């Protein structure tokens, strides 16, 4: 069983639609920039991967995560020919931080905000007439968790389309707690580099439309499976066996073997422990086939976009499959010993024919989700 | 959602003010009551630095797993890798986020405490439950407004049908504090949690679990009226009771909708229930079926301007 992806939409610090983001990734353009919505005096770090859409520089406004989400969902729905009426289409949103940034502005500055704006349902209702909407707060694997639920819902046979989205803006509390924890600001986000110093937050949203049938629409790829589990191990530290289990589950459900996988979009947060555990789990599962897939990651250029990270990686994989170009990991001077055992695409893009891609998403609390997609052929 | 095979409730847990067991859900809570004390149930160990919502969640998880026969006081009685967790909570970490924001404004990021770091993530309740009780199945946090509790049950049922776990521990939890009261505009918030254990009927029968209630189907619609219409197509079209949404989004529920069917709200003295409501409705229904009631009930939660979730709750098959 697999479900066609018939529409995509996205925005991030490096682009306002999927094509623009993909070209930035292939060109090695980073979205890292001086703080736009936060008071520079309050933080050690001076840079984030923000989306530059505030009306007035330096003045933050509520509702930005919701704006990002509506933009991405609108793009994807248009692309799939669904238009603006989503009254019969479930919308499943994965997010790390919901509208917590608006909550902060309400609490600190008295900004206009209400309890039922913490989740995205009312805004999707107002814009698209959507009533079957679900906000899942599943940390950094949230949008791949949402993809798994959409897959299960299509399988249960009750709907024609499901939209899967991810959206996050940066909150002051998450930025501040990360900032305090990092002894010195990482400066750059450097996944798989021996000198990586930690992650840097980013903003973004992505959406895809899954259909029961493609109709006469462009098919970007087909979702074969999503595996999901929980380490049940440690609050902040990832667990190799939990991560490996999620990858194996995705392979089994899709009916693919490691040797069948041509491309892996790694989660790659640039955190010392996370990157190492992810690569070890990959090598454990892929074994003698660890040199088969190309592996890459997007966060050196997009930042860590939390709940939207998974769907942004997925859309990147879809465009890589359709165009035969794999964007590189940037900011890499010296790869770790473990990643060197795999075929890491770094510094410059490579050309490759990708039939099957794997997308990794791992979140705080040991939440793992791994998707397998195949090219539309 | 009518294509889902029926799922059943095999365990109920409560951590609610004025409630000592499921029977109290039927007779009504003894209110006003002292706040729930998680340390009295679990001991103090492992509760330090956990926020109130996480403590309530850990507490009710223990009660629910025990009631379902999935663990006893000595430890687990089932394979945790095949048990998943779904938590419904809208306001679980509102206090941490507000407090940290104030700290940063007054003292810069250097004033923040690393102990607040985990609680800044809204999925902290579900992941801490998984860690404490070693539950390795899918771990989902539903922050979806007033419908969250019933939505959580629906996604657990969806994942059970997809074979992703043998059981799901479904929990609704909301804490009471000054930030949430101000945000919601309420005098008090329930400051409690409810758990139900959900599994496929055949799984429950195979392991000899006591089935307390059955869920015959779920609905998700734009209005209460449409929700009720959908529920009538899923199960018995004249239920013995109707559990109402907490607020209908300002609009009155028409008097002739399901005319003659008794309408039930939850006691006002609990305060705002939010994400707890849908799970509580299931727990109350299970309590009523335990007490011998036979008629199915409709559960509804959510708001007209957002979305309305509904479920048909039935007595177990073959109850004498």
Nearest CA-CA partner of B147 in B319, B37, B312, B304: B304
Is B183 part of the contact surface with chain A (CB cutoff 8 Å)? yes
Answer whether A3-211 and A222-374 agree in fold: yes
CA distance B96 to chain A (A): 9
In angstroms and rounded to an integer, the radius of gyration of the C-alpha atoms of chain A is 19
| CATH number of this structure's domain A222-374, picked from the four choices 3.40.190.10, 3.40.47.10, 1.10.15.40, 3.40.710.10 | 3.40.47.10
Nearest CA in chain A to B179: A107
Q: Which helix (H) or strand (E) holds B73?
A: none
Q: Which residues of B touch A167 (CB under 8 A)?
A: none
CA pair distance B7, B162, nearest whole angstrom: 12
CA pair distance A142, A96, nearest whole angstrom: 7
Distinct helix (H) and strand (E) counts, chain B: 10, 12
CA pair distance B114, A121, nearest whole angstrom: 32
CA distance B179 to chain A (A): 8
b/e code A306-325 from CB counts within 10 Å (16+ = b): bbbbbbbbbbbbbbbbbeeb
Domains of chain A by residue range: 3-211, 222-374
CA distance B27 to chain A (A): 31
Interface-testing mutation among A41, A65, A99, A180, with chain B (most B C-beta atoms within 10 A): A180
* Cα separations in angstroms, B175 against A213, B72, B85: 44, 27, 19
User: What pLDDT sits at residue B251?
Assistant: 63
Cβ distance of A365 and B306 shorter than 8 Å: no
Residues A88, A319, A33, CA angle at the centre, nearest 5°? 95
Nearest CA in chain B to A44: B109
CA pair distance A40, B244, nearest whole angstrom: 48
Cβ distance of B123 and A367 shorter than 8 Å: yes
CA distance B291 to chain A (A): 34
Q: Answer whether A147's CB lies under 8 Å from A93's CB.
A: no
CA distance A267 to chain B (A): 18
Is B177 part of the contact surface with chain A (CB cutoff 8 Å)? no
Average pLDDT over residues B70-88: 94
Q: How would residue A58 be classed by pLDDT, with cut points 50, 70 and 90? A: confident
Helices A172-181 and B94-107: crossing angle in degrees, nearest 10, is 60
Nearest CA-CA partner of B285 in B274, B298, B272, B267: B298
Listing DSSP states for A338-351 in one string gives HHHTSEE-BSS-EE
Q: Diameter of chain A by CA atoms?
A: 58
For residue A279, which phi and psi values (nearest 5 degrees)? -70, -40
Q: Which residues of A touch B179 (CB under 8 A)?
A: 107
Cβ distance of B98 and A116 shorter than 8 Å: no
Average pLDDT over residues B31-39: 96
CA pair distance A367, A220, nearest whole angstrom: 27
User: What pLDDT sits at residue A352?
Assistant: 98
Q: Which helix (H) or strand (E) holds B298?
A: strand B297-303
pLDDT at B320 over 70: no
Q: Which residues of A touch B110 (CB under 8 A)?
A: 44, 180
Structural tokens at position B278: 């849908």
Cβ distance of A107 and B102 shorter than 8 Å: yes
Percent helix, percent strand, percent coil in chain B, to nearest 5:
40, 20, 40
Nearest CA-CA partner of A25 in A273, A278, A204, A260: A204
Q: Answer whether A44's CB lies under 8 Å from A185's CB.
A: yes
Nearest CA-CA partner of A362 in A202, A231, A224: A231
| Backbone torsion region of residue A33, taken as left when φ is above 0, otherwise alpha when ψ lies between -120 and 50, otherwise beta | beta
pLDDT 10s digits, A242-301: 999 999 999 999 999 999 999 999 999 999 999 999 999 999 999 999 999 999 999 999
Q: Answer whether B169's CB lies under 8 Å from B61's CB.
A: yes
Q: How far, rounded to the nearest angstrom, does the alpha carbon of residue A211 sit from its chain's CA centroid?
A: 20
Least confident span in A163-167, A174-178, A282-286, B22-26: B22-26
Q: How would residue A377 be classed by pLDDT, with cut points 50, 70 and 90? A: confident
**Nearest residue, CB atoms, A136 vs list B141, B179, B185:** B141
User: Which residues 122-141 of chain B have a CB within 8 Å of chain A?
Assistant: 122-124, 126-128, 130-131, 133-141
Q: Answer whether B276's CB lies under 8 Å from B149's CB.
A: yes
CA pair distance B244, B193, nearest whole angstrom: 19
Q: Which helix (H) or strand (E) holds B285?
A: helix B277-290
Nearest CA-CA partner of B25 in B305, B301, B311, B276: B276
Nearest CA-CA partner of B173 in B45, B52, B266, B268: B52
**Nearest residue, CB atoms, A173 vs list B97, B124, B155:** B97
Q: How would residue B3 be classed by pLDDT, with cut points 50, 70 and 90? A: low
Nearest CA-CA partner of A186 in A335, A46, A16, A357: A46
Q: Answer whether A265's CB lies under 8 Å from A293's CB.
A: no
CA pair distance A201, A219, nearest whole angstrom: 32
pLDDT 10s digits, B123-150: 999 999 999 999 999 999 999 999 999 9
CA distance A305 to chain B (A): 14
Q: Which residues of A touch B137 (CB under 8 A)?
A: 229-230
In angstroms and rounded to an integer, the radius of gyration of the C-alpha atoms of chain B is 19
User: What pLDDT sits at residue B301?
Assistant: 97
Cβ distance of B131 and A233 shorter than 8 Å: yes
CA pair distance B22, B11, nearest whole angstrom: 10
Average pLDDT over residues B267-275: 95
Structural tokens at position A87: 């009254």
pLDDT at B248 over 60: no
Residues 6+ apart with CB under 8 A from B180: B91, B94, B95, B174, B189
Q: How would residue B73 be classed by pLDDT, with cut points 50, 70 and 90? A: confident
pLDDT at A221 over 60: yes
Q: Which residues of B touch A103 (CB under 8 A)?
A: 94, 97-98, 183
Is B186 part of the contact surface with chain A (CB cutoff 8 Å)? no
User: What pLDDT sits at residue B1?
Assistant: 43
pLDDT 10s digits, B198-229: 999 999 999 999 999 999 999 999 999 999 99
User: Which residues 72-91 of chain B have a CB within 8 Å of chain A?
Assistant: 80-81, 84-85, 90-91
Domains in chain B with CATH codes:
7-206 (3.40.47.10), 215-314 (no CATH)
Q: Answer whether A149's CB lies under 8 Å from A141's CB.
A: no
Q: How many CB atoms lie within 10 A of CB B116?
A: 21
Average pLDDT over residues B170-176: 98
Q: Answer whether B148's CB lies under 8 Å from B274's CB.
A: yes
**Nearest residue, CB atoms, A103 vs list B98, B116, B185:** B98
CA pair distance B209, B199, nearest whole angstrom: 10
Nearest CA in chain B to A229: B138
Interface-testing mutation among B104, B132, B157, with chain A (most A C-beta atoms within 10 A): B104
Structural tokens at position B46: 């492992």
* Cα separations in angstroms, A340 against A276, A278, A305, A362, B103: 12, 13, 26, 21, 43
Q: Which residues of B touch A98 (CB under 8 A)?
A: 122, 143
**Nearest residue, CB atoms, A180 vs list B112, B131, B307:** B112
Q: How many CB atoms lie within 10 A of CB A301?
A: 28
| CATH number of this structure's domain A3-211, picked from the four choices 3.60.15.10, 3.40.47.10, 3.40.50.300, 1.10.357.10 | 3.40.47.10
**Nearest residue, CB atoms, B109 vs list A115, A132, A176:** A176
């Amino acid at each position: 069983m697999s479900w066609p992806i018939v529409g995509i939409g996205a925005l991030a610090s490096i682009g306002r639609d999927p094509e623009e983001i993909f070209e930035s990734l292939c060109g090695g353009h980073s979205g890292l920039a001086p703080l736009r919505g936060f008071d520079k005096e309050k933080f050690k770090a001076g840079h984030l991967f923000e989306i530059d859409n505030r009306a007035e520089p330096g003045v933050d406004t509520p509702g930005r995560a919701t704006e990002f989400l509506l933009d991405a969902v609108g793009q994807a729905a248009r692309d799939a020919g669904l238009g603006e009426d989503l009254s019969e289409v479930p919308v499943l949103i994965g997010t790390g931080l919901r509208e917590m940034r608006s909550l902060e502005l309400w609490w600190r500055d008295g900004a206009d905000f209400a309890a039922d704006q913490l989740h995205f349902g009312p805004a999707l209702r107002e814009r698209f007439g959507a009533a079957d909407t679900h906000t899942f707060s599943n940390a950094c694997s949230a949008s791949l968790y949402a993809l798994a639920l959409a897959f299960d819902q299509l399988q249960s046979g009750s709907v024609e389309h499901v939209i899967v989205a991810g959206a996050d803006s940066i909150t002051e509390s998450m930025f501040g707690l990360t900032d305090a924890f990092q002894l010195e600001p990482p400066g750059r986000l450097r996944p798989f580099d021996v000198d990586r110093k930690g992650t840097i937050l980013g903003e973004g949203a992505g959406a895809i439309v899954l259909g029961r049938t493609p109709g006469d629409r462009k098919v970007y790829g087909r979702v074969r499976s999503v595996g999901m589990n929980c380490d049940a191990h440690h609050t902040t530290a990832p667990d190799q066996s939990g991560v490996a289990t999620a990858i194996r589950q995705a392979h089994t459900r899709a009916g693919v073997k490691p040797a069948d996988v041509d491309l892996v979009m790694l989660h790659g947060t640039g955190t010392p422990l996370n990157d190492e555990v992810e690569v070890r789990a990959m090598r454990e599962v892929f074994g003698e086939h660890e040199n088969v897939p190309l592996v890459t990651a997007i966060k050196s250029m997009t930042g860590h976009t939390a709940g939207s990270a998974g769907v942004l990686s997925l859309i990147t994989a879809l465009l890589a499959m359709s165009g035969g170009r794999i964007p590189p990991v940037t900011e890499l001077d010296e790869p770790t010993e473990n990643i060197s055992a795999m075929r890491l695409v770094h510094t410059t893009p490579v050309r490759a024919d990708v039939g099957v891609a794997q997308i990794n998403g791992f979140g705080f609390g040991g939440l793992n989700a791994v998707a397998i997609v195949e090219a539309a052929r | 959602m009518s294509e889902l095979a029926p799922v059943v409730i095999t365990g109920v847990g409560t951590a609610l003010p004025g409630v000592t067991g499921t029977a109290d859900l039927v007779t009504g809570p003894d209110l006003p009551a002292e706040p729930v004390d998680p340390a009295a149930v679990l001991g103090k160990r492992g509760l330090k630095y956990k926020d109130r919502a996480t403590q309530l969640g850990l507490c009710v998880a223990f009660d629910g797993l025990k009631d379902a026969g999935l663990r006893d006081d000595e430890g687990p009685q089932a394979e945790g890798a095949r048990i998943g967790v779904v938590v419904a909570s809208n306001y679980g970490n509102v206090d941490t986020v507000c407090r940290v924001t104030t700290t940063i404004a007054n003292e810069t990021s250097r004033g923040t405490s690393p102990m607040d770091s985990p609680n800044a993530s809204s999925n902290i309740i579900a992941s801490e439950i998984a860690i404490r009780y070693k539950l390795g199945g899918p771990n989902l946090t539903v922050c979806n407004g007033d419908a969250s509790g019933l939505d959580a049950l629906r996604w657990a049922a969806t994942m059970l049908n997809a074979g992703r776990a043998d059981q799901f521990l479904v929990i609704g939890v909301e804490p009471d504090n000054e930030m949430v009261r101000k945000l919601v505009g309420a005098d008090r918030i329930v400051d409690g949690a409810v758990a139900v254990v959900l599994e496929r009927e055949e799984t429950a029968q195979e392991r000899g679990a006591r089935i307390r209630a059955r869920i015959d189907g779920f609905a998700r619609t734009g209005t209460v009226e449409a929700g009720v219409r959908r529920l009538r197509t899923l199960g018995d079209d004249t239920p013995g009771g109707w559990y109402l949404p907490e607020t209908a989004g300002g609009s009155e529920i028409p008097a002739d909708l399901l005319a003659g069917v008794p309408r039930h709200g939850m006691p006002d003295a609990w305060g705002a229930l939010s994400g707890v409501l849908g799970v509580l409705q299931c727990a109350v229904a299970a309590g009523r079926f335990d007490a011998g009631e036979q008629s199915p009930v409709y559960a509804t939660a959510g708001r007209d301007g957002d979305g309305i979730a509904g479920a048909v709750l039935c007595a177990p098959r073959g109850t004498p």
